[in-house]
Structure 1
Amino acid sequence: MPSSNHEIDPPDNGANESALSPVIAASKRIPKRRRNARACDRCHRNACKCSPGIEGRTCSRCKNQGVACTYSRPAKRRGPPPRRSLNGDNDMISPPSPRKPQRSESSAAAHAGLPATSRDTEPDNECIRVSTPRLSTSNFYPAYEDEIRHETIEALLKVFFHASYPLRPYFHWPSYVAQVMHRQYQTDWGVFIVTMAVCSLGAIRLCDGAPMGSDPHPLRSEAVDLFSKCFAAAVKAMPSESISCPDYYPLMKAKSILASACIQNGDLKRAYALLGDYNSLCVTSGFHVEANWPTSLTQIQREERRRFFWGVYQQEQYLANNAGFVSRQRDAKVTVQYPVEVYDDEDITETGIRLRTEQISFLRGFNYCTDLYRILEHMDGGVRGRQQVSSEELGGAVASFLYRLRPSKEMATECLQLITRLHEDLPEDLKSVKVMTGDPQVDRNGYIAYNILITTQTLKLLLVGTERPSVHMRCAIASELLDELSAIPMEFFHASSTVSLHHMAQNRREVLLLV
């Protein structure tokens, strides 16, 4: 709630006013200035000063933005929250340990408490700020300030940008780096949890041996410890109930990046749980429908959200296909456009986009992978739908009826032809993995090409299993996969993420089944 310098009436001690001195008696009769009762809903949500802060009168901020100035939230008790809420059991966070053979299956959802607040249908996106004192970054960052220094954060951001950003381009990088350079993570809750999540992913990639230009990297020996500290810092600052958080966008982003870190660490169950929190926020906020996004978004914010949404969609489908989980995102329910294929984030401004037709954008490959995962979602559902059940079993009659609604087996051949055509249309730099140069702008095409190769072959192997092709087709696809893998520079296998390694293991198993 916005602070005020107005004087608050002292308590009445029951003294007789007539017994006071004339000066004091006169001052008692003068109406005293009181503090504002409370901020309007919008200013309260964004932790902004509300002027005049009087119910029934539109405040200056709402008037300038042309939105309704409401006071519909319930009034709450003033003062600090109870000590039990701040120091309860939820503050005990146990971060995942990197690369242990046995992992605890305890939930990662032991978070700090947050009082429930209502979510506005169109939240203010001028800045990401906290809405309650307990969400203030000052409650969290000082505990890690000596261990996670600003220089360490900068170094881990560079690791993320080099090794993870090509597959997780969730940021307009110049804007995000500017936030970190100005140390907004020290005062802004949303920037804090996202930055800690980014650092945890950068640390685990460094721990797994992601090559950097200045190897041996100065933080490589500390990577395991930094991963645990950054992960714990992000989780501890999150509310125990995700849907009660009004600043849902940074929370969604932090949850999904932490899920990526868990996948990299081999903790697929925790990754699936974190993505479950993301999906809950996505559905309750209507994030999967672009028309629900605030109309005040700049071009940068809109493009960033498009990248973010489809990147998490790819991650969800990957877990469903390779880890045996159930996908909670359906392409049929989504109305979000693909991100624009710019060469560099500098080409996106607040008001427009500059396209360089002579340059190859790695986002071209990113969108191609989205195409593949959308096809994979639909075809995987068709394959599962062909698992025949007896009509005498419970639900068997409906299962038999739904089986007839599935795509025909000939659809697999058409999909293979479509994939081949789409792949041929890609630029050469996105179809072959080249030697790493150490330049992130150049190497990102290699990361995307590597991801395209693995994802394309995964889908092809699935499609081959949906019908009865000739032995020659089976052998041709298996041979194609082996030839392409043998052409990849060895350093890319060292630089590849755990996601890619899981892809390769899955493909190897499918190849053995084919031949």
Structure 2
Amino acid sequence: MSSSLQGSPPRPLSPILDKPRRQAITRACDRCRRRKAKCDFDNAVGTCSHCRDNNVRCTFDLPLAKRGPKSKKSTDSSIPPGSVSTFSGRRGIHHAPLVGHPSSSTAAATFKSPPSSSTTPWESSAQLAAGAGLSPASTRDFASVASPPAAHGVSAVRRWRTLSRALSLRNKVLEQMVERCFGLFFEYLYPLTPLVHEPSLRDGLSIFTSQSSNSALQNAPRNGNDGMADSLPALNPPAWPGISPDVGSGPGGETLGCWHDATFTLITAVCAEAAFLLPKDLFPEGETVADLFLQASRDCLNSYLEADLENPNANSITIRYFHSNCVHAAGKPKYSWHIFGEATRLAQVMRLYDEAALEGLPPVESELRRRAFWIVYMGDKSAAILNNRPITMHKYSFETGVTTAYPTGMDNRSGSMANVSDVTTPPDSHGSNFIAGFNANLKLWQAASDLLIQVRLFQDQKSIEFGAANRPSQALTESERQRLDSLFVQFITCMDDLPPYLQSYTFAAVGGAGGPIAEAKQFVIQCANLQVSFHCLRMVITQKFEDIAFFAPGAEQADLRKTEIVRDMLRVMHEAPFWSLQVNGEPYVRLPP
């Protein structure tokens, strides 16, 4: 048999088993892949002819496209997370979010091979995260509460570069657009939402702008690990808005998990706030960049969400408040209410309703926490009164009541506390915080809320005693009427002691000056907000009083009361500059039925 086999003609090669193996093809660089050009990458030179002709280096950041059927094997749980490196590789600009969602990186370990010319050893993303600006006190806490290393695979500087590329596709320069958003925010929106510390915010921005302008940074080889995360300078904790080293080392552990991610999230949230809320007349480019800033901020927040929820600070609430405003302006009120609920719950778990919870904090952080609490408190009342949402924050909601003091003001240029003992004269500088107008708005909504809550309590009592069908016809007792009279007087007189620069005649003074200066412009914004809010709440309270038969019977009297309110509202809208009404947004466009 062996001789017959030797004499037989050679068997033809099997087309499946004996096919010569294909040689590994050199991976194309990112530039050639985008242009769908043939890449002749030369290991000896370290670049291809296309990139060499354009004086750029070959990069290999784009993820490899997976081919073939998806693997059904589950990740081997016996391998410790630190023994392999993981990376969240989604970086789409056209058809995907700006950065990868953390859920995609925690499902399985995804790898991205470095370029063939690279000899740099693999590093785990856990090491990158620990080196990307974490304070020493928070590194240990963050490691215990954060997701697996892959969840933090996208560094803040990579997000900055990705956002810059996305804006460049819309013919915008990121650094210039951020500066424009900051300027417009502090000029028009800060008087209504003084929730950020401008010097610290700009210090954080300087870290990213200095990196993007560094030529060595732009020309350095980049591998799949995003080694650029280690090139970011450590953010000095006192420069972070409202944070000092004492906070990070304290028993509360209030510091955020990653300084750079939190800074990027706040910067883009402020930009999104300006882009979404300012009208086209003031910010024509806003609608072009609004979605990019919001998506970048939301994605970055998701990357350190668990650490942020475990160790929140004032900016944790501020970021969510801005996100809620932007999503609402985008036409998603239910999603906006959900995000606002996160801010509300953070204020509750941080015990910001209790002034004692702010003891021992740095002055700037404690001031920002007061402002964050009161703006959430006021937003909760606005949603309840104007949009029929449930009230979740009231003095009856907490065992100790609300003991948090009103904000006292701070110098937004240096962070020092300002002297606000004389509230009859406006501050002298453009960087003043306008805290008198902010507090006046708080008192207005608090007085209206107390009155409407009392009306609801009386309605519930009548419903229990006489039944729901007979509730409107039941007259108030003398004690109930006196209680409502007292609360109504508090509401109707809550703005009698406003400083002169917040009185309604401010509109005429500014109009006669031939154009508002920076300080007067911001007082006009606050004044318009106060006057429109006041008359809107008057109408709501009048309708509620009619439901409980508080006023003397007679349809003519009821019509006269409403006509008077409408007349006052029209007078304010006629006197106030139209741009000041636009800046205040849509909350008072429609009254609840």
TM range (shorter): 0.5 to 0.7
Matched-pair contact (CA < 8 Å) for 2:181–2:274:
yes
The residue aligned with 2:387 is 323
Matched-pair contact (CA < 8 Å) for 2:317–2:372:
no
Matched-pair contact (CA < 8 Å) for 1:331–1:374:
no
The residue aligned with 2:499 is 427
Name the CA distance, whole Å, in 2 between partners of 1:356 and 1:174.
24
Gaps of 5+ in 1: 1-75, 96-109, 116-123, 212-216, 511-515
Q: 1:295 aligns with which of 322, 342, 360?
A: 360
Letter in 2 for 1:369: N
Deviation at 1:127, TM superposition (A): 10
Q: 2:586 aligns with which of 497, 501, 509?
A: 501
1:360 aligns with 2:420: no
Q: 2:517 aligns with which of 431, 439, 446?
A: 439
Higher mean displacement: 458-467 or 159-168: 458-467
1:145 aligns with 2:208: no
Name the CA distance, whole Å, in 1 between partners of 2:265 and 2:321.
11
> TM-score by structure 1 length?
0.64
- Matched residues, number: 388
Matched-pair contact (CA < 8 Å) for 1:338–1:367:
yes
The residue aligned with 2:550 is 468
> TM-score by structure 2 length?
0.57
Deviation at 1:484, TM superposition (A): 4.4
Deviation at 1:414, TM superposition (A): 1.9
Map 1:106-505 → 2, pairs under 5 A: 111-113=101-103, 131=142, 134=152, 136-146=155-165, 147=167, 149-183=174-208, 188-206=260-278, 208-209=279-280, 211=282, 220=284, 222-239=285-302, 242=305, 244-245=307-308, 246-249=310-313, 250-293=315-358, 295-297=360-362, 299-332=363-396, 333=398, 334-341=402-409, 345-346=412-413, 348-349=415-416, 352-355=417-420, 357=422, 359-360=425-426, 362-385=434-457, 386=459, 389=463, 408-432=480-504, 433-434=506-507, 435=510, 437-464=515-542, 465-466=544-545, 467-470=549-552, 472=557, 475-476=560-561, 478-488=563-573, 492-497=577-582, 500-505=585-590
Instruction: Name the SS of the counterpart of 2:587 in structure 1.
Output: helix
Deviation at 1:93, TM superposition (A): 7.0
Name the CA distance, whole Å, in 1 between partners of 2:101 and 2:353.
26
Deviation at 1:485, TM superposition (A): 2.9
Listed one character per residue, the Cα deviations across residues 298-331 of structure 1 (whole Å, up to 9, x for unaligned) are x222222212221222122211211121122223
Name the CA distance, whole Å, in 1 between partners of 2:446 and 2:584.
18
Instruction: Name the SS of the counterpart of 1:422 in structure 2.
Output: coil
Listed one character per residue, the Cα deviations across residues 6-54 of structure 1 (whole Å, up to 9, x for unaligned) are xxxxxxxxxxxxxxxxxxxxxxxxxxxxxxxxxxxxxxxxxxxxxxxxx
Instruction: Name the SS of the counterpart of 1:78 in structure 2.
Output: helix
The residue aligned with 1:37 is none
Listed one character per residue, the Cα deviations across residues 470-500 of structure 1 (whole Å, up to 9, x for unaligned) are 4557624642442343244577334424765
- Identify if the C-alpha distance between structure 1 residues 430 and 329 changes in structure 2 by more than 3 Å, giving closer, same or farther: same
Matched-pair contact (CA < 8 Å) for 2:199–2:413:
yes
Deviation at 1:87, TM superposition (A): 5.0
Name the CA distance, whole Å, in 2 between partners of 1:338 and 1:126.
33
Deviation at 1:375, TM superposition (A): 2.4
Letter in 1 for 2:186: F
Matched-pair contact (CA < 8 Å) for 2:409–2:435:
yes
Name the CA distance, whole Å, in 1 between partners of 2:463 and 2:351.
36
Letter in 1 for 2:535: Q
Gaps of 5+ in 2: 1-79, 107-133, 168-172, 212-231, 233-259, 428-433
**Alignment identity in percent?**
16
Listed one character per residue, the Cα deviations across residues 157-200 of structure 1 (whole Å, up to 9, x for unaligned) are 11111221111000232332333244389851111111111111
Matched-pair contact (CA < 8 Å) for 2:370–2:404:
yes
Deviation at 1:338, TM superposition (A): 0.8
- Identify if the C-alpha distance between structure 1 residues 475 and 346 changes in structure 2 by more than 3 Å, giving closer, same or farther: farther
Letter in 2 for 1:237: C
- Identify if the C-alpha distance between structure 1 residues 321 and 142 changes in structure 2 by more than 3 Å, giving closer, same or farther: same
Listed one character per residue, the Cα deviations across residues 422-450 of structure 1 (whole Å, up to 9, x for unaligned) are 31211232121524745332211111111
The residue aligned with 2:252 is none
Matched-pair contact (CA < 8 Å) for 1:454–1:500:
no
Name the CA distance, whole Å, in 2 between partners of 1:317 and 1:329.
8
Name the CA distance, whole Å, in 1 between partners of 2:186 and 2:366.
20
Name the CA distance, whole Å, in 2 between partners of 1:196 and 1:457.
35
Name the CA distance, whole Å, in 2 between partners of 1:322 and 1:489.
23
The residue aligned with 2:238 is none
- Identify if the C-alpha distance between structure 1 residues 237 and 260 changes in structure 2 by more than 3 Å, giving closer, same or farther: same
Instruction: Name the SS of the counterpart of 2:389 in structure 1.
Output: coil
- Identify if the C-alpha distance between structure 1 residues 341 and 286 changes in structure 2 by more than 3 Å, giving closer, same or farther: closer
- Identify if the C-alpha distance between structure 1 residues 505 and 296 changes in structure 2 by more than 3 Å, giving closer, same or farther: closer
Name the CA distance, whole Å, in 2 between partners of 1:185 and 1:458.
47
Letter in 2 for 1:238: L
Deviation at 1:94, TM superposition (A): 6.8
Matched-pair contact (CA < 8 Å) for 1:193–1:238:
yes
Deviation at 1:253, TM superposition (A): 1.7
Instruction: Name the SS of the counterpart of 2:383 in structure 1.
Output: helix
Q: 2:82 aligns with which of 51, 73, 78?
A: 78
The residue aligned with 1:22 is none
Matched-pair contact (CA < 8 Å) for 1:166–1:447:
yes
Matched-pair contact (CA < 8 Å) for 2:539–2:565:
no
Deviation at 1:502, TM superposition (A): 2.9
Instruction: Name the SS of the counterpart of 1:378 in structure 2.
Output: helix
Instruction: Name the SS of the counterpart of 1:325 in structure 2.
Output: coil
Instruction: Name the SS of the counterpart of 2:301 in structure 1.
Output: coil
Letter in 1 for 2:326: A
Name the CA distance, whole Å, in 2 between partners of 1:486 and 1:365.
21
Name the CA distance, whole Å, in 1 between partners of 2:559 and 2:486.
16
The residue aligned with 2:116 is none
Deviation at 1:231, TM superposition (A): 0.6
Deviation at 1:239, TM superposition (A): 2.5
Matched-pair contact (CA < 8 Å) for 2:370–2:406:
yes
Structure exhibiting the larger radius of gyration computed from Cα positions: 2
